[in-house]
Amino acid sequence: MKVFFAFLLLIVLYRGWKKGIVQGFLRSIRLSSIFLWLLVSITLVFLDSYFTFSRAQGGLRYISKFGNIVGDADIVLPILISIVLLFIFFRSESREELFIELVCVITLTTLLGDVFKVLVGRARPYMGMGVFSFFNLSHSLFSNDFQSFPSGHVLFFSSLCTWFAFRLGWWFRFILPLLPIVVAYNRLESNNHYFSDVFFSWVLGYVIIARYMKEVRGTEEGPLASSACVILSFIRRLLP
């Protein structure tokens, strides 16, 4: 089944390439901003020990499970791809292009996160090696245990929420920035990531999608369309 949806994903990416969406996304990436946020995240490593959680109990357990599901690209992407195929089948070109854009930008953002995972090679918390345990490519390329930084779940959902925040009305722009916190809590509670992992993922998802929507689509985000809330939106304006 995964192979089938991977094939469909390639078809959607190809259609996105034909429509210029992929090229526009690649042009909008600013490595300077990404690496500045990377440096900020590195300075927050000292906070990692303060954001450790025991296994969730009661209602928090269901919140954590919800965060794990909505942040899983293997679950959400096939749903989005199916929506694209429905629009293609019913020949709704405007909505088809809209969801092709969504699938393309969040897929490419997630792939960028995977590149960081391999390059950084940080050991996951459950390995018990400490926050400064980084290993070379031979570890991080072939072992999921050394792909802690950044969090793919948080990055995926942050980019997804940011895209919808730009596309929907002001009420959604207030609610959507809060949702990645649920996914971040799950990744911390499950002992898969450190705080600096989820922080960088949250910011990276916002910065990449926000720049794409503003530079390529000409969309103004408004005061509340931030995947890291109003403070992140303000700080982002200070960066190149």
pLDDT of residue 227: 41
Residue 235 has which token pair? Answer: 């700080």
Q: What contacts 48, CB < 8 A, 6 or more positions away?
A: 131, 194, 195, 196
Residue 156 has which token pair? Answer: 């995926």
Residue ranges making up the domain that contains 115: 2-236
**Residues composing the chain:** 240
Count of C-beta atoms within a 10 Å radius of residue 171: 9
Residue 140 has which token pair? Answer: 């991080």
pLDDT of residue 210: 81
pLDDT of residue 90: 59
Task: Yes or no: say if 109 and 162 are a contact pair by the CB < 8 Å rule.
Answer: no
87 vs 101: CA distance, rounded Å: 13
123 vs 195: CA distance, rounded Å: 13
What is the 3-state secondary structure of the chain?
A: CHHHHHHHHHHHHHHHHHCCHHHHHHHHCCHHHHHHHHHHHHHHHHHHHHCCCCCCCCHHHHHHHHHHHHCCHHHHHHHHHHHHHHHHHCCCHHHHHHHHHHHHHHHHHHHHHHHHHHHHCECCHHHCCCCCCECCHHHHCCCHHHCCCCCHHHHHHHHHHHHHHHHCCHHHHHHHHHHHHHHHHHHHHCCCCCHHHHHHHHHHHHHHHHHHHHHCCCCCCCCCCCCCHHHHHHHHCCCC
pLDDT of residue 42: 75
pLDDT of residue 172: 67
CA-derived radius of gyration, the chain: 18
| Residue pLDDT tens, the chain, 240 long | 667 767 777 877 888 888 888 888 888 887 777 777 777 777 778 777 777 766 655 556 666 666 666 667 666 767 777 776 666 665 666 677 777 888 888 888 888 888 888 888 888 888 878 778 888 777 778 878 888 888 888 898 888 888 888 877 666 666 776 788 888 888 888 888 888 888 888 888 888 888 888 777 666 654 344 444 544 555 555 544
Axis-axis angle for helices 73-89, 93-120 (nearest 10) = 160
pTM value > 0.85: no
134 phi and psi angles, rounded to 5 deg: -120, 140
74 vs 15: CA distance, rounded Å: 21
Q: How many domains does the chain have?
A: 1
